Structure formats: C-alpha cells, structure tokens
C-alpha cells in the first residue's frame, strides 16, 4: 500500500535519493511525512517518479513542510493561472538559454531565503534537461580543518543580477539589451551570508557559497575574491559530491537550499521544457558556532 511506508534509494554517497511507494496526490500521514522529511535531511534532495498531481496537490505537499506563499521577490517567472504560489519555469525552443543553467541555490540573494524548493515536471524535451545536485556538507567536510577555520571568519555577498551577467558583461545567451534591463530592474537586490553555517535540523556544517550569485567576500574586492571562489566551487562540484536526476513524465523533486546546490542542464536545444516550482519557508541556517 502506498503512503504507509516508503522506500528510500540513495543516488550517490552524499547527495540525492529516490523515494518509492508514495502517492503525492494523497495527503501524507504523519509517519510518512516524517520519513520523507528525514530523507530530505539525510540526502539534501529527494525525487519522486510516477506522480500525477495537480497544482493544488503540489501546494498541499509543500505545505506539509512549511509555509508556501507567492514569491513576492522580483522575478521574471510567470505564475500558474489561479495559483500565485507556483512559478512556471519555461524554456522555449527559441530562447537563448534556460533558467537555472548554472550552479546555485534558489534565492540566496535574499536575506532569509525560502529553504526548500518543490519542482514538478509538466512538459519535457525528448532528451536532456536533467538537473544536477551537489551537497554543501560534503564540500565542507572535504576541506582541511585549518582551511575551515579561516572560512569561518568570511561571508560572501550574493547579487541577483549575476544570473544575467557580471561586471558589465552579459552571460552567454543574454543580449546586452536584456542584461541592461535586468541590471536596472533588479538593482540593489543582494544579501550577505556567512561561508560556513550550520543546518538547523541536521546540525551539520555547510559550505554556503553560490558559484553564480556570490560576487565577493565581504570586505574584499572581487578581484581578490575570485581565485578562492573558483577553488571552492571546484570542491563543491566534485563528481563525488553530486548526483544527476533524470526527469520523466510525472517526476517531482524537492531539495533543501540550505544543504545543496543545483544546476539545470541546458542540453536540449530547440525544444520546450515546462516546470512548476514553489518554495517553502522555514528556519534558515544558523551561525556555525552554535552547539559547538
């Protein structure tokens, strides 16, 4: 019977797990919810196949984990009709690039980002379009103790407009005119976060750095910061720290932005892809010294 007890299948040593024997169109009983939440804490990202759910049912699933509200932050994403809580992420055949085609955490340019994302596949290309995930605690734990001690003193500045270009140079697939428009529209949207923080539920330390949104270390110039940002990005995205999720019709993914990075691969040129995303609010990362 579905929703009485789930099966969790890890996808790699650190990151991601598929969950079977569950029907997300039905309410989750408390025991099942706790098992799913534990899997999310254990693996950072969890994946479900064979789901036939409506937008209302996707919202109901998200609400088991926290508050689901319309994204009031500046965004270019369309809303699903009648469901302002859900953003529609569309890659059209004629688009120059997709959305999210770089390593990042969702909304890290906010002072208190929503912690979880729930993404449901609605239209898929005939090939490609996988999403990769990398675990922030695995990256933290791979660093030497002395290096971690140094990073404990640092924060980075996350800037929204970096998704469209950096230092006056548009990103690949972004026209100069669009980049200028986005720089004006999203000017000043940024937040500063410590590099090393503690997950409020697992207690594990994480390396909280966004390869795309992190502009510089607080108090440093960007030129000074880039070599270390690039080095840490390499650690975070080592293949051993990642998993790759292949979407199917009826797939749904949920991930914890306090625990993983993700990357939406843009390897399906000339095809259409439509996804529905909502975000869940809840406790944010804690100072790394907590509970030491």
CA distance 127 to 113: 32
pLDDT at position 120 is 98
- 242-280, pLDDT tens digit by residue? 999 999 999 999 999 999 999 999 999 999 999 999 999
The closest alpha carbon to 89, from 129, 56, 53, 49, belongs to: 129
pLDDT of 149 over the 60 cut: yes
pLDDT at position 76 is 74
pLDDT at position 114 is 92
pLDDT band at 289 (very low <50, low <70, confident <90, very high): confident
pLDDT at position 72 is 63
pLDDT at position 290 is 45
Share of the chain above pLDDT 90, in %: 91
Is 183 strand, coil or helix? helix
pLDDT of 239 over the 70 cut: yes
Helix or strand holding residue 204 (H, E): none
Mean pLDDT of 45-67: 97
pLDDT at position 78 is 83
Mean pLDDT of 41-49: 98
Output the CATH code of domain 1-292. Answer: 3.60.130.10
Q: Poorest-confidence range of 66-70, 280-284, 288-292?
A: 288-292
Question: Measured between alpha carbons, how far is residue 147 from residues 150, 154, 200, 228 in Å?
Answer: 5, 11, 23, 11
- 72-107, pLDDT tens digit by residue? 666 778 888 899 999 999 999 999 999 999 999 999
pLDDT of 291 over the 60 cut: no
Hey, how many other C-beta atoms are within 10 angstroms of the C-beta on 266?
Answer: 20
pLDDT band at 195 (very low <50, low <70, confident <90, very high): very high
SS (H, E, C) 73-108: CCCCCEEECCEEEEEEEEECCCCCCCCCCCCECCCC
Mean pLDDT of 185-207: 97
Strands 116-123 and 273-281, sheet pairing: antiparallel
């Amino acid at each position: 019977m579905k929703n009485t007890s789930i099966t969790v299948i890890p996808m790699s040593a650190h990151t991601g797990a598929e969950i079977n024997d569950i029907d997300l169109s039905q309410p989750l009983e408390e025991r099942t919810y706790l098992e799913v939440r534990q899997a999310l804490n254990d693996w950072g990202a969890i994946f479900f196949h064979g789901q036939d759910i409506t937008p209302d049912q996707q919202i109901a699933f998200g609400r088991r984990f926290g508050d689901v509200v319309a994204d009031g932050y500046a965004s270019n994403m369309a809303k699903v009709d009648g469901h302002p809580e859900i953003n529609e992420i569309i890659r059209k055949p004629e688009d120059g690039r997709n959305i999210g085609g770089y390593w990042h955490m969702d909304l890290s340019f906010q002072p208190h980002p929503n912690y979880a994302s729930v993404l449901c596949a609605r239209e898929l290309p005939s090939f490609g379009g996988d999403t990769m995930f990398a675990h922030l605690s695995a990256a933290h734990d791979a660093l030497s103790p002395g290096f971690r001690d140094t990073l404990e003193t640092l924060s980075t500045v996350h800037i929204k407009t970096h998704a469209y270009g950096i230092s006056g140079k548009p990103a690949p697939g972004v026209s100069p005119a669009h980049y200028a428009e986005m720089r004006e529209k999203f000017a000043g949207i940024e937040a500063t976060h410590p590099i090393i923080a503690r997950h409020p539920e697992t207690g594990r330390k994480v390396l909280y750095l966004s390869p795309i949104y992190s502009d510089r270390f607080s108090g440093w110039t960007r030129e000074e910061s880039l070599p270390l940002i690039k080095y840490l990005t390499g650690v975070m995205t080592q293949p051993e720290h990642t998993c790759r999720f292949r979407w199917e019709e009826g797939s749904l993914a949920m991930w914890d932005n306090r625990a993983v990075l993700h990357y939406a691969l843009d390897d399906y040129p000339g095809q259409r892809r439509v996804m529905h995303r909502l975000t869940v609010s809840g406790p944010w990362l804690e100072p790394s010294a907590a509970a030491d």
